[in-house]
Structure 1
Amino acid sequence: MMIKLSFAPSARFARRLSLGAALSAGLVMTAMTPAEAAKTTLNLGMSVEPTGLDPTIAAPVAIGQVTWQNVFEGLVTIDQSGKIQPQLAKSWEISPDGLTYTFKLQTGVKFHDGEAFDATAAKFSLDRARGADSVNPQKRFFASIASIDTPDAETLVLHLSAPTGSLIYWLGWPASVMVAPKTAADDKTTPVGTGPFKFASWAKGDKVELARNDDYWNKGAAAKLDKVTFRFIADPQAQAAALKSGDLDAFPEFAAPELMSSFDGDARLVTRIGNTELKVVAGMNNAKKPFDDKRVRQALMMAIDRKTVIDGAWSGLGTPIGSHYTPNDPGYQDMTGVLPYDVEKAKALLAEAGYPNGFTFTIKSPQMAYAPRSAQVMQAMFAEIGVTMNIEPTEFPAKWVQVIMKDRNFDMTIVAHAEPLDIDIYARDPYYFNYKNPAFNALMKKVQETTDPAAQNAIYGEAQKILAEDVPALYLFVMPKLGVWDRHLKGLWENEPIPSNVLSGVSWDE
């Protein structure tokens, strides 16, 4: 016999059930409100404001750090491991003689202004970069392109005058991005590309804003963020304060290594130390006395204890180098032992060169923290060998570019060269070092005649040795990538094979 029991809840209990159900429903509803949804905006800090927003007409790396892979894209790209990947070109073939490159282009791609990207637009971009009136900062990349054909909208053919083993790699650089023919002239202030973000606004002296490109051609790499704001803050203390207050979500290249420990224990922020191509070198004017004498340059190099420079300039965070090459680069050789720290030998070299009592010169130092700090350490070291170095602050980039790069009116300067595999700058004429070495130039020509990695690495090894012995610049250290950002941010690059802030893969996990 089954007894069925039935209970009617009391009014008080019924009210409690109703309240509980309502609260449960409210909790579910609250969890789904926009206020609790994952964030779709990002406030990102940078130390240096770009002078413009078109990386195809000016050299400062800050330009590419805002626009490369965000607004602009290239035929190919360089991924976070430093490898070449297809982009607006989905494939390519190189003829056996290395003189013809045939690219098959993506279809259905449009610039942000609605103009179609096709072979004609690609030809326009490359012709603009290589033309007689081009101001492209890497114009030499395109020097071997003799002519360009466009058999159809999806095919681009480059005919070269000589084999160029680095061409595909160079086509992945910011200076090689594709631009829209109708709007290219205005890209300095209102950039138009094919990338996952569109340019929104630029409040000079403060910020640049980008907005998600909802019509982006590559759906698999579409931006996860709706809006990105780049804020420009030069002062390291202000950078740290903005991060700690939450005004900034991220500072991928934090400018004050001595403040990194101040973020320890912060429940919201994480710190990351990665690799870069930032080679800090003190370049000399090799055409000016006494720097035209190799013995003087060698003496100055041997007067420097690189570890002490790194300790004083960057809180011990950095890797010593003896040539214009980083440990990340293919074919790297450690050249720090070629001219090691040796004060007595440095004095002897100076005496041999005719400067037994030393000499006096001026270093023009940009305002970025690593530069004056390094200069101050070097100043004390040079005093040990009787050399007096005066330090002259020089605003970067405008004044520095004019005085150093264009006028070449200087004795010595110090700057971090950011471009990867840019050892060939010592073969450029003109270039601010005023360095001329036919043997080195021949190596830079030879390395382009082959696409074999082993052969290229061997040539780069020879080139590193020449620079280590000739010291057209004082090779100091490679800067690390110091990143600070919200622990809920995902997708920021921890390493930097090329100066950039690639944001298409960045999202919030909360």
Structure 2
Amino acid sequence: MDRERRPQDLDLLSAQRRQVPSRPRRRCTGRHHDGAAHPGQGDGIGNPRQLRSHRQDGGGRRQHRALHTQGSVRGVGRHLQRSAGADRSARQARHAGPPIGSGPFKFKSFVPGDRVELEKFAGYYVPGVPQIDQVVLRIMPESAARAAALETGEVDLVWDLPLESIDQFKKNPNVVVDSVATSTWDGIIMNGAHKPFDDRRVRRAVLLAVDKPAMVELALFGQGTPTHTMIPPGHPFYNNDIKIGKPDLVTARKLLAEAGYPNGFDLTLYTPVGRPTRERAGLAMREMLKPLNVRVDIQRVPWDKFINEIEGKAAFYADGFYSRPTIDSSTYPWFHSNGSWNTTLWNYKNAEMDRVLDAARAARTEAELAADYKKFQVLALEDPPGVIAYVLNHINAYRKNVKGFQSSPMMWLDLRKVTVQ
């Protein structure tokens, strides 16, 4: 940490990209897509690289708010003031200036490749908030450097702790590891616009070959939960009547034979470089398909090429998305035939699924919603567009001199009530 830093200042860094807090519209988990920063991995809050994100159907990619960062502290918005009568050059000049927001912190400075500095906004509408005077968002792309910075006290908090560092910090008496369940998910995409995935029997056979609890261990080192869809266990609309059991290879082989593939087939599975959970999920998928004689070749693709040439275009690939704030924005864009992500991800069409999701949007009671979304999960397993094996935990680590911090299931970095002793 900076040696002359005041105790009420806070140095942080992020292990990966994070999702920006949603305004009255944006469901989280824009695309995470990666969720930009499930959100580009290996980049810190404050990372100047601007990763793609879109807003579509209230559930587009994990959105990236460009304060030249991959993520933002809750309350630090990018609401630039605009005048309808201003000319083009004036608008451009305002966009080039400091961001103007209404949150608890305001922009102070940005050093490309190094840090973003924020300072307390004394005019914040909540009395006594925030309680720290300054936040320094450090840019440290390497996970080893982030871990070392936290261990030595150079930084106070690491956002989105790399899974491989968890055990190390759980043994450190000066560090707290804080974990919360989310609805962020990774998936194995089966693009229905390509053979053999234009046949629902093939897609279901692939799903039946997956050992979801094993996938959690292999891809997430146990830091997640098996699930039917992106609706996580513990959600009031999660379908507990469906049990997550062992792979059903007998039924899977029968379905492949009926679809004309009694001897299996060859596939290429694309995984994005730098997204370690998805890379490991791809490797696990390859092994789980071997008993069906489905022979999978793994191709690792750089993120920019993955976005431009693989996502929505290839037949078989690993992808992922951050949590959304509402169940509709978590499901409809992906599973409805007119959904924004469906048409750019896996080209899934199921008339009954459309009917159920439309009914859920029209539901007037919690009971109706629960029934519709439980039916949604049944349909998603009977006719799957891909494999959603798990939802991830969001994990942060901070030194014990940091008080009042709590991890958010939406992966927000909320520092409004944080103090540093």
| TM superposition score category, shorter chain reference | 0.7 to 0.9
Q: Which aligned pairs between 1:79-478 and structure 2 lie closer than 5 A?
A: 137-141=54-58, 180-182=81-83, 190-216=98-124, 218-220=125-127, 222-256=129-163, 258-334=164-240, 337=243, 340-366=246-272, 367-396=274-303, 398-405=304-311, 408-420=312-324, 421=327, 422-425=330-333, 426-427=335-336, 428-429=339-340, 430-478=343-391
1:159 corresponds to which residue?
none
In structure 2, what is the Cα distance between the partners aligned to 1:299 and 1:393?
A: 24
Partner of 2:332, secondary structure, is: helix
In structure 2, what is the Cα distance between the partners aligned to 1:54 and 1:274?
A: 18
Contact 1:280 1:475 in 2 (8 A): yes
State the Cα distance separating 1:375 from its structure 2 match.
1.1
Amino acid at match of 2:158: F
In structure 2, what is the Cα distance between the partners aligned to 1:330 and 1:318?
A: 18
Amino acid at match of 2:138: R
Partner of 1:474, secondary structure, is: strand
State the Cα distance separating 1:326 from its structure 2 match.
0.9
TM-aligned CA distance change 1:463 to 1:305, over 3 Å = same
Work out whether 1:43 is the aligned partner of 2:11.
yes
Q: Deviations over 1:27-57 (max 9, x none)?
A: xxxxxxxx99972222222233579999999
State the Cα distance separating 1:340 from its structure 2 match.
4.7
For structure 2, the residue ranges without an aligned partner over 5 or more in a row are: 40-44, 46-51, 60-73, 84-89
State the Cα distance separating 1:254 from its structure 2 match.
0.8
In structure 2, what is the Cα distance between the partners aligned to 1:329 and 1:236?
A: 32
Contact 2:11 2:157 in 1 (8 A): yes
State the Cα distance separating 1:188 from its structure 2 match.
9.3
In structure 2, what is the Cα distance between the partners aligned to 1:53 and 1:448?
A: 23
TM-aligned CA distance change 1:502 to 1:280, over 3 Å = same
Contact 1:298 1:339 in 2 (8 A): no
1:19 corresponds to which residue?
none
Amino acid at match of 1:317: Q
Contact 1:301 1:339 in 2 (8 A): no
2:413 corresponds to which residue?
501
Partner of 2:192, secondary structure, is: coil
Amino acid at match of 1:363: L
Q: Deviations over 1:331-351 (max 9, x none)?
A: 111476478512232222212
Contact 1:273 1:482 in 2 (8 A): yes
Amino acid at match of 1:453: E
Amino acid at match of 1:211: E
Partner of 2:282, secondary structure, is: helix
In structure 1, what is the Cα distance between the partners aligned to 2:271 and 2:97?
A: 28
TM-aligned CA distance change 1:387 to 1:63, over 3 Å = closer
In structure 2, what is the Cα distance between the partners aligned to 1:402 and 1:244?
A: 38
TM-aligned CA distance change 1:377 to 1:494, over 3 Å = same
Q: Deviations over 1:313-360 (max 9, x none)?
A: 222222101223112433111476478512232222212211122112
Q: Deviations over 1:260-304 (max 9, x none)?
A: 121244232111222112122212211111011111111111111
Per the normalisation by structure 1, the TM-score is 0.64
For structure 1, the residue ranges without an aligned partner over 5 or more in a row are: 1-34, 71-134, 143-172
TM-aligned CA distance change 1:388 to 1:328, over 3 Å = same
Q: Deviations over 1:83-123 (max 9, x none)?
A: xxxxxxxxxxxxxxxxxxxxxxxxxxxxxxxxxxxxxxxxx
1:153 corresponds to which residue?
none
TM-aligned CA distance change 1:277 to 1:346, over 3 Å = same
In structure 1, what is the Cα distance between the partners aligned to 2:56 and 2:91?
A: 17
In structure 2, what is the Cα distance between the partners aligned to 1:438 and 1:187?
A: 45
In structure 2, what is the Cα distance between the partners aligned to 1:230 and 1:62?
A: 17
Query: Which structure is larger by alpha-carbon Rg, 1 or 2?
Result: 1
Contact 2:16 2:160 in 1 (8 A): no
In structure 1, what is the Cα distance between the partners aligned to 2:219 and 2:53?
A: 32
Contact 2:78 2:99 in 1 (8 A): no
In structure 1, what is the Cα distance between the partners aligned to 2:198 and 2:302?
A: 26
Contact 2:181 2:224 in 1 (8 A): no
- CA-atom RMSD in angstroms: 3.6
In structure 2, what is the Cα distance between the partners aligned to 1:395 and 1:190?
A: 32
In structure 2, what is the Cα distance between the partners aligned to 1:337 and 1:501?
A: 34
In structure 1, what is the Cα distance between the partners aligned to 2:352 and 2:96?
A: 38
State the Cα distance separating 1:233 from its structure 2 match.
3.4
In structure 1, what is the Cα distance between the partners aligned to 2:322 and 2:387?
A: 16
Contact 1:43 1:228 in 2 (8 A): yes
Contact 2:31 2:54 in 1 (8 A): yes
Q: Deviations over 1:195-218 (max 9, x none)?
A: 1111233344443332222222x1
In structure 2, what is the Cα distance between the partners aligned to 1:188 and 1:469?
A: 51
Per the normalisation by structure 2, the TM-score is 0.77
Partner of 2:309, secondary structure, is: helix
Amino acid at match of 1:48: Q
